[in-house]
Amino acid sequence: MDLRAYTRQYAKQDNRIAALSYFGTFAVYFTSLYLAIAYANLWYVMLPAGVVHAFSAVRLYVLQHDCGHHSLFETRAQNEWAGHGLSPFTFAPFEVMKQNHNLHHTGVGNLEHRETGEIHTMTLREWNAAGFWERLQYRLYRNPFILVPVGALFTYFIRYRWPKNTTRFGVRGVLLHNLSVLAWVVVIWALSGWAGLGIYFAFSMLGGMIGVFLVYLQHNFEDTYWDRRPDLDPQLAALQGSSALDFGWAFDLAVACITLHDIHHFNARIPSYRLRACHYNLPEEYAPRRIKFPEAVAALRLKLWDEDAKRLVPFPKQGRRVGRGAHTAAG
């Protein structure tokens, strides 16, 4: 079967489903935030409501990502307006985020264009050639206890105030976006004070950490795919180089199916509300290997791309310099 022909039947937008997904997520976002702040003295209300709020924030970001691909609503204009409308609540300026993410799609799996990826990956050869300070910097960067929380804080609260390529894709839009974020924060403060603002930022931070964890898993797992031109195979880069996470139906719903990243990279025009059906109805010859939660957590120890073994491997033991077959000597 022609996989492109198969996926095209799911690349159909429906404004009724899109509106339900869009406005329904906003309803959950605002309701859960209200409950978390209004019942802050009742931990058994505040904590569950805050966790729901964090996941709804992740879902809003995924919907904004869909709008960037013009895949959520039926028309380009509808997606553009919807994407900008999400910006104050995702902390991500829409136009620059859209353009940078599209660059990521063009460079996925390409070892010669790793600057387009969300999380940097060194090759084993580069590690072997690196000096002490470069290794230390990379070790700290890839440590999950730094990468996830500090990555969330830096990416969503700091870096997105002036993202890369801002001057190329829209200074005015970023400045207006930052003003809208400030206005939203002032509204929360005016209605609930510093305590409410603290609760909002705490659970926004949790949402950011969930987002970074998912972004890491999208392309960082043992048998992912990287290569160099002219050998780079775009179909393998999309399907094998992007993950399919199996955390259950409820989790997929909570994060708008960003877990099914392989099919998304193969055909970015499939809206999030059709990704699960497309993925789980794949013809047998294209059925992917799905990563369950324990394997996803274990993937956090994989740090370097071994070009000889063609897999992601941990750091070599004792800083040992190794080459071919390094995956057998790695711990």
pLDDT at position 117 is 66
Q: What's 289's DSSP letter?
A: P
Alpha helices in 108-143 (DSSP H): 124-129, 132-142
Q: What's the pTM?
A: 0.92
Q: Which helix (H) or strand (E) holds 276?
A: helix 272-280
- Average pLDDT, stretch 245-260? 96
pLDDT per residue as tens digits for the range 116-166: 767 899 999 999 999 999 999 999 999 999 999 999 999 999 999 999 889
The residue written with tokens 């990468």 in the block is 147
Helix axes 76-90, 94-107, angle to 10 degrees: 110
Q: Average pLDDT, whole number, for the chain?
A: 93
Domain range summary for the chain, segments of one domain joined by +: 3-121+154-300
Distance CA 129, CA 135 (A): 10
pLDDT at position 9 is 95
C-alpha pair distances (Å), 298 with each of 19, 26, 199, 220, 301: 37, 33, 31, 11, 6
pLDDT at position 175 is 97
Distance CA 23, CA 33 (A): 15
Is residue 114 within 8 Å of 86, Cβ to Cβ?
no
Q: What's 315's DSSP letter?
A: P
**Identity of residue 103:** L
Nearest-CA neighbor of 69 among 84, 80, 58? 80
